[in-house]
Structure 1
Amino acid sequence: MNKRILIIDDDQHMLCALEFLFTEEGYLVEAINAAAMVIPTVLKFQPEIILMDIRLGDGDGRLICDELKNSPITKHLPVILLTALSYREISEFDCLADAIIGKPYDIKYLLNTVSQLSDRTTDLLKY
């Protein structure tokens, strides 16, 4: 069964590239471009992992991540944040993300991180 990944990015080119990459890797992908759509999409699509840009046109990915991690319904979902922010800017904000990956990112590293975290979620859901 294909693992479900939710990708959120307001940059349409980045969103399409990530959607293509993960579809080619065998994931079932839901791609959205607005922060306001994240929670309803998570509840409907029920992803095993979330990949989200920090800077969204209508919201902050770090705050959305914290909202997901503080909810009993979604706290188990791994969230990976993508960012063009510097390390200093990232470290100044306490965030509950499972991983933060800088842009430009290494594709193999991104795929490996997503795979490891989604495997962890799949294992948790078995019990």
Structure 2
Amino acid sequence: MKNKILVIDDDHLTLEILEIILNDEGYDVKSVDLTEMIFPSIEIFKPDLIIMDIKLDKADGRILCDEIKRSNETQHIPIILLTALEYSIIGEIACDAEAIMGKPYDSKNMLLTIKNLLDS
């Protein structure tokens, strides 16, 4: 059975690129570009991992990440946050994500991070 990854970003190009990369690696991918669709998508799709941008159209990905981690039903789902913030600032971001990656991200590094999170 394929691992399922939910990708959340309001940038359609980022969604398309991540879908291609993740599909090529054999993952089942669902993309969401509207913040109001995040929690219904989690409930229906039941992802094994979430990749989410920090700066979304109507929300802060860090706050949404922490909400996901506070719920008994979803706290087990590993989350990778993406950000265009400078690398020196990334280490100062406080939230419950398992990983935070800067944009532009290295796809090999992202795939390795995904594999490690799914295998743990």
Partner SS state of residue 108, structure 2: helix
Q: Following the alignment from structure 1 to structure 2, what is the Cα–Cα distance between the partners of residues 88 and 107?
A: 20
**Structure 1 counterpart of 2:58:** 58
By how many angstroms is 1:90 displaced? 3.5
Q: Following the alignment from structure 1 to structure 2, what is the Cα–Cα distance between the partners of residues 118 and 58?
A: 29
**Structure 2 counterpart of 1:22:** 22
* Equivalent position amino acid for 1:72 in 2: N
Once superposed, what is the RMSD of the aligned Cα atoms?
1.1
By how many angstroms is 1:92 displaced? 4.2
* Count of aligned pairs: 120
Unaligned runs of 5+ in 1: 121-127
TM-score by length of 1: 0.90
Moved over 4 A (4+): none
Q: Following the alignment from structure 1 to structure 2, what is the Cα–Cα distance between the partners of residues 14 and 66?
A: 23
Q: 1:28 to 1:17 in 2, by over 3 A?
A: same
Q: Following the alignment from structure 2 to structure 1, what is the Cα–Cα distance between the partners of residues 36 and 119?
A: 27
**Structure 2 counterpart of 1:124:** none
User: Does structure 2 retain, via aligned residues, the 8 Å contact 1:35–1:61?
Assistant: no
Partner SS state of residue 5, structure 1: strand
Q: Percent identity?
A: 47
* Equivalent position amino acid for 2:66 in 1: D
User: Does structure 1 retain, via aligned residues, the 8 Å contact 2:90–2:102?
Assistant: no
**Structure 2 counterpart of 1:68:** 68
Unaligned runs of 5+ in 2: none
Q: Following the alignment from structure 1 to structure 2, what is the Cα–Cα distance between the partners of residues 88 and 37?
A: 31
User: Does structure 2 retain, via aligned residues, the 8 Å contact 1:35–1:64?
Assistant: no
> What does the per-residue CA deviation read over 1:5-51, in whole Å, with 9 as the maximum and x for residues that have no partner?
00001000110010111011100000011222111100110000000
Partner SS state of residue 80, structure 1: strand
